[in-house]
Amino acid sequence: MNLIVFDIDGTLTDSVKVHINAFLIALKQLGVKEEGFNFKTYKHHTDSYISKVIYEEYVQKEFTSEVQEQFASILYSEINKHEIKEIKGASQLIQSLQKDENYGICYATGSIIQPAKLKLEVVGASYDPSQLVPSNDIYERENIVSKAIENAKEFYQVEQFDKIYSIGDGLWDLKTAQNLELEFIGIGEENEAIMRENGMQTFYKDLTEFELPL
C-alpha cells in the first residue's frame, strides 16, 4: 500500500487568501494592531507558531491555551463567512482514493483544526480523526507530516508503506518532503516557479490533471 499525504490550503481548497485575511482579523481582535506581516519569513509555516510569535511580540503577553482557543474561534468564524471552493478535481480525486485499496490517505496541515475540518468538508473527505493532523499542538511542518504518517500506519494497520507521496502547493511543503525524503508532487501555478527552482520534478496545474503514481 502507498500513502498520499495531502496539504489542504491551496492543494485541495482554494482558501489561502481567505485564510490569511481571517488570520489577520483574528490577530487584530486579540490586540495586534500592526499589519503587513510576511508569513513566509517565519521559521515555521503553521498557524500555531506564527500566531504565537506575533501575539507575544506585539501584545507582550503569553499566548496561552485560552488565547489560542479565542484565536481559533475567530479564525473559524471569519473563514466560515466565505464560500470555500475546491481546487479543480479535488473532490473527485479524494472520493476516488477513499475507495482505492492500493492507497492510504491522510492530511497534514499548517492550519489549526477547526478551519481544516471545514475545508475537508468542501471536498467530501470522509476520514478518521487520526488521519488529520493540524498544527494546534505542533509548530514544525516536519513533525506534523511525520505524525500524520505514523497515525496512518496505525489506521491502515501496516508497518511500512511501499511509497509515501506528499502533495502540496508551496515551497514549505516541498522542503518538508525533501527533509523527510518523501516523493513530492506540486499543485498550483502560483508557486510553481520557486518549487521548480528548489527541485520539484512532478507538477500538476490542478487536480483534474493528477495521475496516481504506480
Give the C-alpha separation, 80 to 125, whole Å. Answer: 18
Beta bridge partners of 106: 5
Predicted confidence (pLDDT) per residue in 87-127, tens digit: 999 999 999 999 999 999 999 999 999 999 999 999 999 99
Task: Lay out the sheet containing 183-187: strands in order across.
Answer: 132-133, 103-108, 2-6, 164-168, 183-187, 202-204
pTM: 0.93
pLDDT in tens, 28-37: 999 998 877 8
* Residue 109: predicted pLDDT: 97
Between helix 171-179 and helix 141-156 the angle, nearest 10°, is 60
Cell of 81: 463567512
Q: What superfamily would CATH give domain 2-14+84-204?
A: HAD superfamily/HAD-like (3.40.50.1000)
> Is 162 in contact with 1 (CB distance < 8 Å)?
yes
User: Domains of the chain: which residue ranges?
Assistant: 2-14+84-204, 16-79
How far apart are the two ends of the chain, measured CA to CA in Å?
11
Q: Specify whether the CB–CB gap between 84 and 118 falls below 8 A.
A: yes
Q: Output DSSP code: residue 9.
A: B
